[in-house]
Amino acid sequence: MALTKFIKALVAHYKNEPAIVLWQGENEPFVEWFGTCPNVDRSFVEKEVALVHALDTRGVMSTDSGELGWWYREGQLGDYFGTTLYQVVWNERFGYMHYYFFRPLIYRIKALVAFINPRHALIAELQAESWFPNGNKNITLAEQKLSMNTEQLLANVELARRTGFGAAYLWGSEYWYWLKGQGDDSMWKAVKSLIP
């Protein structure tokens, strides 16, 4: 099978990289309502996770949507569970939507209900970039700041910290770099301020 060969080659290539702390088995494999991804069956993901376990001793993370997922299936697949944390998104019907009702306690409750050990849960995608309506890359900087700016970034980081999950990975480094090239280094500086 081509995928098995690919996974073996990928793990072999990166196996000695100290920056790799976890492997990820698929990204939100059961999210069928976003994008144009085909349905994935559970046994397929289980086989991928088992293969990675056979090739390396580091843990495998499974992921699900933080705001719209139930976490149970994904939470049982890997050694670690990763979720998203987005606070401002764009919807065709409603425009920009703020998920401010998703507070840290809700993330902890969802983890407990899905039998996920909070020590093995992390924010795999912490929103740190703008949400582009319909993937449109030609929106103005002013509109981009409606969904992400330094204040929103710092609020998202604080929210992630208060979930009590083990780690949070900022999603958007290419965006900060691109903004810096446009003469706006505010996000770049805000992220640097977060690094000890």
Q: Rounded to whole angstroms, how far apart are CA atoms 163 and 167? A: 10
pLDDT tens, position by position, 6-47: 999 999 999 999 999 999 988 888 887 666 767 788 898 999
pLDDT tens, position by position, 147-190: 999 999 999 999 999 999 999 999 999 999 999 999 999 999 99
**Which residue has 């993330």 as its token pair?**
107
Distances (CA, A) of 62 to 102, 116, 141, 174, 191: 21, 11, 34, 24, 26
pLDDT at 125 over 70: yes
Q: Rounded to whole angstroms, how far apart are CA atoms 100 and 98? A: 6
8 A C-beta contact, residue 25 and residue 52: yes
8 A C-beta contact, residue 31 and residue 65: yes
Three-state DSSP state, 88? strand
pLDDT at 68 (0 to 100):
82
pLDDT at 148 (0 to 100):
94
Instruction: Please choose, from the candidates 9, 75, 17, the residue with its C-alpha nearest in 3D space to the C-alpha of residue 45.
Output: 75
